[in-house]
A and B are shown apart, each in its own frame.
Chain A
Amino acid sequence: MTGTPVLAARDVSMVFGGLTALSEVNLTLDEGQILGLIGPNGAGKTTFFNCLTGLYTPTRGTVTLRGTRLPSDPAAVTVAGVARTFQNIRLFPSMTALENVVVGRHSRMKQGPLASLFHGPAYRRGEQAARDRSLELLEFVGLGRVHDELSRNLPYGDQRRLEIARALATDPSVLLLDEPTAGMNPQETEATRQLIFAIRETGVAVVVIEHDTKFIFSLCDHVSVLVQGKLLVEGTPDVVRGDPRVIEAYLGKPPDEVEAEVRHYADETADHTQVIELDGGSEGDKR
């Protein structure tokens, strides 16, 4: 894929106190690309997303969107064109599905606090346009029929798709999806995969965090592997899938080493059991 990068992270590091969560991570997202970000738990994937959305300001390094440095305020980052969903669903629970999406339109609407008080024709047109666009997005993710339901009453899979619709409502150039298929069954996962392809067709570049490597390898053009805050490998799915370091870090160690570990673990548990018995014995002695 050639062309100007939409989103570029250069040497991004994030340090919390003494803990280095991210260390000089580089990432380039091209126009129309779907990029997968994988790595074991605690590798810093969500931290990296937080750096890309202004929730965290990186300790070192820069993030640029189409060559312009991103502001450090999350609301301004959204206005600039980066939107996201969350690993733990974070909808506005007491709003309907439609209202949730209209909130996403907020920064693309012009009506100030007084305009909405006097309900002029321009105000009504703006509200109507936002509603229409939001309904369109709900149809797009397949939730048109439930737009009047409170978001907290929607089934789990629908909530995940509603989050995607809400993020799309901000007219992003880049969409960040944090584990979009977590907890989904195979049919829902496949539907999500098709949805992400459809989003790409609308001209939005996508970054996906996932644990499901099969899902990532069948979805993405490019995969980056993050391990302990460092970028371990990146490349096409085929390159990444075959890399021994990835297999070790992400998918586990080769079988013989694993066997050795199991034996070691068995020894330790045996010791542990002994300790318990000794404890039990001493307690019995006391009585």
Chain B
Amino acid sequence: MATLLQQLISGLVLGGQIALIALGYTMVYGIIQLINFAHGEVFMVSVFGALATYNWFIPESWQQTWPLALLAMLVGAVVVAVVLAVLMERFAYRPLRNAPRLAPLITALGVSVMLKEIVRLSFPGATAAVHVPRAFWDEPITFKVPGGTVVIGSTGLLVIVVAIVGAVLLQVYISRSRMGRAMRATAQDPDTARLMGVDPNRTIVLTFVIGGALAGVAGVLYGVHLNNVDTDAGFLTGIFAFTAAVLGGVGSIKGAVIGGFIIGVIKTVGGQYLPGGTAYDLVWIFVLLILVLVFRPQGLFGEPERVRA
């Protein structure tokens, strides 16, 4: 019982990180039908942005006080991620907006390789794990359950809370605000939205900005939770997040978050209990993905694809 609960909690923590990144995939896909494969790398770069802020831009006294350090890292990571996402949209994807879908997809793969190499060149030794400071209140929370105790790290709890709060805020923003409405209108019919006075470029840039900001938040949380990062961090997490978005239904915010948590839990609980152990945990994730795609191609919360006029 204790073991199951413990694995469940670890799964939710992992799932929270995946969910924050999955939101970026799902929003960009929703509005321009592009699977932005470079989004995982944006997340990875943002961890290094946070690290660079901590190491180079804040005084030692701040480094000693975690709330200041965390805040500085958050700002650093979000700024780096947002700037990157905006540049990417402007120079890599916008020129290809009316090109066949394959062209921006391949470009996304190219951008992702480029970002990884830029980090490798700017942070010598980053291909192996680089230390990231903890920068958070570090009392783990322990509670007793029948058959033992369960521990949840304070940073882990932070990840779960931020993921859920972030997704709820995003959902409210998109369903209630002026720009959120513009995003939904552009997603449903870009030409008509334009003819109703909605500027598509501003709307699409905003989508990338929000996705980037969430990836930046995920980056800081990843860093302070795991206390290390390397240039490969974006690849696997990116694949997980992409899978979560597809599982939940690309374009759906609720779907991306629930998909993220499902994947996190399958990885940890499946790694514990299913045959093959942790060596096979990825297998179960992708088996589930295949099953969902076979029986519900639009994902758990996605709308079935409509034929457009």
Looking at chain B, what size class is its interface with the partner chain?
A: 20 to 34
- How far, in angstroms, from A126 to B181 measured CA to CA in the complex? 14
Cα A88 to Cα B192 in complex, Å, equals 11
Whether A102 and B181, one on each chain, are in contact in the complex, defined by CB atoms closer than 8 angstroms, is: yes
Shortest C-beta distance, A83 to chain B (Å), equals 8
B195 engages A113 (CB within 8 Å) = no
Is A93 interfacial (CB-CB < 8 Å)?
Answer: yes
CB distance from A174 to the nearest CB of B (A): 13
B173, A88: Cβ atoms under 8 Å? no
Q: For the complex, what is the distance from the CA of A109 to the CA of B181, rounded to whole Å?
A: 12
Judged by a CB distance under 8 angstroms, whether A79 is at the interface is yes
Expressed in whole angstroms, the Cα–Cα distance for A91 and B189 within the complex equals 8
Interface string of A75-88 (1 = CB under 8 A from B): 10111000110101
> Which residues of chain A are within 8 angstroms of B188 by Cβ–Cβ distance?
92-95
The docked-state distance in angstroms from the alpha carbon of A106 to that of B179 is 8
Q: In this assembly, does A107 line the interface, its C-beta being within 8 Å of a C-beta of chain B?
A: yes
State in angstroms the CA–CA spacing of A95 and B175 once bound together: 10
Any A CB within 8 A of the CB of B296: no
CB of A99 closer than 8 Å to a CB of B: yes
> Are B198 and A103 touching (Cβ within 8 A)?
yes
B206 and A55 form a contact (CB under 8 A): no
The answer, yes or no, to whether B218 is at the interface (CB within 8 Å) is no
Q: CB distance B309 to A90 under 8 Å?
A: yes
Instruction: List chain A residues, Cβ under 8 A from B144.
Output: none
Is the beta-carbon distance between A75 and B198 smaller than 8 angstroms? Answer: yes
- Tell whether B60 is near chain A: CB-to-CB under 8 Å: no
Assess whether B179 is in contact with A103, with CB atoms less than 8 Å apart: no
Cα–Cα distance between A79 and B196 once the two chains are bound (Å): 9
Known: A53-B195, A55-B195, A74-B195. A103 touches B185 (CB 8 A): yes
* Shortest distance from the beta carbon of B47 to any chain A beta carbon, whole Å: 25
Q: Provide the bound-state CA to CA distance between A99 and B198, in Å.
A: 14
A237 beta carbon closer than 8 Å to chain B: no
Q: A92-B188, A116-B173 are in contact. Are A106 and B195 (CB under 8 A)?
A: no
Q: Is A127 an interface residue when CB atoms closer than 8 A count as contact?
A: yes
Known: A92-B188, A103-B185. A109 touches B178 (CB 8 A): yes
On chain A, the residues within 8 Å of B193 by CB distance are: 92, 103
The residue from A77, A106, A116, A127 contacting B198, defined by CB atoms under 8 A apart: A106
Does A13 lie at the interface of the complex (its beta carbon under 8 Å from any beta carbon of B)? no
Which of chain B's residues have a CB closer than 8 A to the CB of A19?
A: none
| Distance between A212 CB and nearest chain B CB, rounded to angstroms | 22
Tell whether A103 pairs with B303 under 8 Å between CB atoms, given A78-B195, A94-B188, A170-B196: no
Bound state CA distance, A90 and B185, in angstroms? 11
Where the two chains meet, the residues of B that have a C-beta atom closer than 8 Å to any C-beta of A are 173, 176-182, 184-185, 188-189, 191-200, 206, 209, 303, 306, 309
Sampled A-B contacts (18; CB under 8 Å): A75-B194, A78-B195, A88-B309, A92-B184, A92-B185, A92-B189, A95-B185, A95-B188, A103-B182, A103-B196, A103-B198, A104-B196, A104-B197, A106-B178, A107-B197, A113-B179, A116-B173, A116-B179
Q: Which 7 A-B pairs have the closest CB atoms?
A: A107-B197, A116-B177, A78-B197, A74-B194, A92-B188, A90-B192, A103-B185
